[in-house]
Structure 1
Amino acid sequence: MSITLQDIEVILGILVDGLPVTGSTAKQWNVVCRELLGHEPPPVIPNSNKSTLTGARIKYKWLDEQFPAPPAADAGDEVVHQHAHYHILVRMGALLFMDKSADQVSLLPLQLLNPISNARRYSWGSAALAWLYRQLCSASKKEVMQIGGALLLVQLWAYSRFPQLCPIVRPPLPPVHSGPLAIRYVH
């Protein structure tokens, strides 16, 4: 038994058909942030773990400080797109492409969201499953103490395959008419 692409699509409702999620890692990520998020992170501090931007990874804390509130009702399209980029990036980093640091998010998906309408063109489910398998493989080493990846998917997959593990005790559920299977576990 293993988590499959079908599980990602059925359980989380994430697209598995489309273009592969690939892109360049050799970018000026501060420029990408300025163009798509409207904010440029502070300069990198060499040999320091206090840098906001390290390679293609940026600290959640800095991102959250740049977007403390929703855009104003009369905000222009550019500001709305910047906020949308921020929210999509944070959700992807927290749900699909989580790593062990838990305080940084990869900017790699951001390059595929320009324009934002490109999001539906890509197979995010395939990329999330590949990342999850990589994280599970790394976690199998005896010295590793943490795990990353789409752990919500792992939990919901276990609940659906092994109902006795599910902590929620309810009467039989009505049929789910639309949406991902994960809706069953939402109160």
Structure 2
Amino acid sequence: MGILTFSLNVTLDGCVDHQEGIADGETHAFFTRLMDENGVMLWGRTTYEMMEGYWPAVARGDVTALPAVREWAAKLEIKPKYVVSSTRMDFPWTNSHHIGGDLRLGVQKLKDATPAGVLLGSGKLATELDRLDLIDEYLFLIHPRIAGHGPTLYQSGLSSTRRLALLSAKPLNNGAVAMHYRRERG
């Protein structure tokens, strides 16, 4: 059984707006390595729709991009992508698959079938999966910025505090820090 790792860009004040992070070659290379280390991507519908509206064009070369950004897009194009949605059933982007019905059952089956691991990149979906006790690890790229606005990490709250054990902390040259934690259970 694979582990489910929640990974996201976040500012020092908890903002997860994708436009508030540092979108340079180093950040994209970091996430490309992370994607390579995991078997599949997992998103909610909103994140999927944001991604499908941009990254396929970068992968095709229709958008000018740094080499690291283009590499991310090319690898994302072929990576299996799973999307949780109760409102949309058709996901035409290459290697995209739908997870519907019972969220706990669908995601647990995905974890069981993916020994290389599941990489979750949607904040709202993470809250729901955390409530269902399905997240095993957290890898946040903390950006040296204070956004002063939302959306924020776990904005809608959790019923209890999550205790985490630090696995690693790695500073990037651009000032961001990759913080990797494992969920402590029991």
Bigger Rg, structure 1 or 2? 1
Q: TM-score range by the shorter chain?
A: under 0.3
Question: Relative contact order (C-alpha < 8 Å, sep 6+): which is higher?
Answer: 2
More helix by share: 1
TM-score, length of structure 2 as denominator length:
0.25
Scaled by the length of structure 1, what TM-score is found?
0.25
